[in-house]
Structure 1
Amino acid sequence: MSVEVIRARALEGVAHGFLTRSGGVSEGPYASLNCGIGSHDDPAKVAENRRRAAEAVVPGAQLVGLYQVHGADAVAVLDGFDPTVRPHADALVTNRPGIALGILTADCAPVLFADTAAGVVGAAHAGWKGAVGGITDSTLLTMETLGADRGRLVTAIGPCIAQANYEVDDAFRQRFAAEDDGSDRFFRDAGAGHAMFDLAGYVAHRLARAGVRRVEIVGADTYADDTRFFSYRRATHRAAGDAGRQISIIGLTGNE
């Protein structure tokens, strides 16, 4: 089975892709394109999966990644960046061709950014903590240091857990209300002190509020589709133990 790459219309002309779990070499609960370095999968198989993923999106590029911490820090990848070091952060940006920025998810929202006029791209991991904490804002600010214009760039939010499967409690809801008084519309009451949260919708709202004019939501649900996506919450509900991670990638080829 070949590597499956989901592409966004908003990022047409930019080397990018939201990858599924298809087309790799891992087995068992990690079958097959598990790109999670921190998983309990065979490291050699993860390395091969990551190589295949990068080649499917930005052939010949150097894949770089992060030690993701559900925070709001973004890192610029410039000349001299060591690809063997994974900074503790949740977003990467670059204006250098030949670099593939990789973000891992398994229910959180991967967000890809591009300003083709400036030649700047970015990738962010937006879990709920990062989303409300401002990871997309930090990504935009870091891209601007390289010459990007947030009013000109386009973004795409990839596969993540959908509202229909993202049940949260009132304490969770109140965290958002305390940080963002426009957040309540992204919660649907589910009774008995619970609600269903629209993560992709909230991330899109934060991007629009920050001045991004074009935001696309890909719309695939990682929790519901176990044949195509890894899901941390699904694995937890099934008491399945460790979950794999899919990767989302964006890069510059010099032809944008």
Structure 2
Amino acid sequence: MTVDVTRARALADVPHGFLGRRGGVSTGVTEGLDLGRRGQDDIGPELAENRRRAVAAVAPGRTLSTLYQVHSAECVTLSAPVDDGARPHADAMATDRPNIVLGILTADCAPVLLADTAAGVIGAAHAGWKGAIGGVTDATIAAMEALGADRARIVAAVGPCIARASYEVDDAFRARFEDADRENERFFADARAGHARFDLEGYVAHRLAAAGVGTVEALGLDTYADAARFYSYRRATHRGEADYGRQVSLIALP
């Protein structure tokens, strides 16, 4: 099975891809193109092969850099590929180096890929709800601007993540967002008593647009609802599965 690559129309001129679970060599409950580390320090043969296949599907010959993601709003700027054993504790990256492939891992959180091709600058962010409300996309835009990007020229795409129909939260969660900005109520829909459904994708797209990003595209793909195509932490938890996988989203300079 070939690697499943979803591309954004807005990033058509940029090597990139939102990958799913198809096309990898992992077995068991995380069968497919699982890029998860699950606390392991060393890259085993299955993970190494999945990483190779992922890069080959999007930007052959480039070097993959990933992060030790911690659900923060931290963005790092890369001037050279990251050694896998020294991954920064952060949730976003920016670079102007053509040999680097930026990789973000997700399993319901929103992957965001960004580019200003005129400036030769790209970015990638892992936007879970904590990072999203904390400003991880704003930090990514600022890091890109420090490299010469212009936010009005930046094109951003929000990839597969858990959709509002699948994302039930409690009233305390909702209050956290509405206390930050009353207009955030638009990203919630009432559910059963004491609960609501949260539109993570819509909120992340809003944060990008509000920051002045010139073009924002949301792909509208629900990781929770499509088990054949995507890994999902929440789905695995609801099913009582012993483990869950992580898909990768990649971007490189043309």
| Band the TM-score falls in, shorter-chain normalisation | over 0.9
Counterpart check, 1:133 vs 2:166: no
Q: Give the secondary structure class of the aligned counterpart of 1:191.
A: coil
Q: Give the secondary structure class of the aligned counterpart of 1:87.
A: coil
Give, in angstroms, the shift of residue 191 of structure 1.
Answer: 2.9
Give, in angstroms, the shift of residue 178 of structure 1.
Answer: 1.9
Q: Percent identity?
A: 64
Q: Is the 8 A contact 1:102 1:247 kept in 2?
A: yes
Q: Residue type matched to 1:34 in 2?
A: D
Q: Is the 8 A contact 1:54 1:63 kept in 2?
A: yes
Give, in angstroms, the shift of residue 182 of structure 1.
Answer: 2.0
Residues 81-112 of structure 1, C-alpha deviation per residue, up to 9 Å, x if partnerless?
53542100000111000110000000000000
Task: State the partner residue of 1:226.
Answer: 227
Q: Is the 8 A contact 2:63 2:81 kept in 1?
A: no
Task: State the partner residue of 2:83.
Answer: 82
**In the aligned structure 2, how far is the partner of 1:104 from the partner of 1:71?**
14
Q: Is the 8 A contact 2:108 2:223 kept in 1?
A: yes
Task: State the partner residue of 1:32.
Answer: 32
Residues 116-153 of structure 1, C-alpha deviation per residue, up to 9 Å, x if partnerless?
00000000000000000100000000001100000111
Q: Residue type matched to 1:111 in 2?
A: V
**In the aligned structure 1, how far is the partner of 2:161 from the partner of 2:115?**
20
Higher mean C-alpha deviation, range 38-47 or range 101-110? 38-47
- Any stretches of 5+ residues in structure 2 without a counterpart? none
Which 4+ stretches in 1 moved above 3 angstroms? 39-42, 79-84
Q: Is the 8 A contact 1:39 1:244 kept in 2?
A: no
Q: Give the secondary structure class of the aligned counterpart of 1:88.
A: coil
Q: Is the 8 A contact 2:76 2:93 kept in 1?
A: yes
Counterpart check, 1:58 vs 2:48: no
Task: State the partner residue of 1:91.
Answer: 92
Q: Give the secondary structure class of the aligned counterpart of 2:183.
A: coil
- Any stretches of 5+ residues in structure 1 without a counterpart? none
Map 1:1-256 → 2, pairs under 5 A: 1-38=1-38, 43-79=44-80, 81-253=82-254
Distance 1:176 1:28, change over 3 A: same
Q: Is the 8 A contact 1:37 1:43 kept in 2?
A: no
Q: Is the 8 A contact 1:63 1:83 kept in 2?
A: no
Q: Is the 8 A contact 2:65 2:81 kept in 1?
A: no
Distance 1:213 1:119, change over 3 A: same
**In the aligned structure 1, how far is the partner of 2:39 from the partner of 2:54?**
17
**In the aligned structure 2, how far is the partner of 1:230 from the partner of 1:196?**
20
Q: Give the secondary structure class of the aligned counterpart of 1:3.
A: coil
Residues 158-200 of structure 1, C-alpha deviation per residue, up to 9 Å, x if partnerless?
0000100000000000111122232110000113110000000
Q: Is the 8 A contact 1:58 1:100 kept in 2?
A: yes
Q: Let me know the Cα RMSD of the aligned residues.
A: 1.5
TM-score, normalised by the number of residues in structure 2: 0.96
**In the aligned structure 2, how far is the partner of 1:249 from the partner of 1:194?**
34
Q: Give the secondary structure class of the aligned counterpart of 2:125.
A: strand
Residues 14-62 of structure 1, C-alpha deviation per residue, up to 9 Å, x if partnerless?
0000001011110011111001122679822012101110111111000
- Between the two proteins, the alignment pairs up a number of residues equal to 253
Q: Is the 8 A contact 2:80 2:100 kept in 1?
A: no
Q: Give the secondary structure class of the aligned counterpart of 2:231.
A: coil
Q: Give the secondary structure class of the aligned counterpart of 1:125.
A: strand
Q: Is the 8 A contact 1:112 1:155 kept in 2?
A: yes
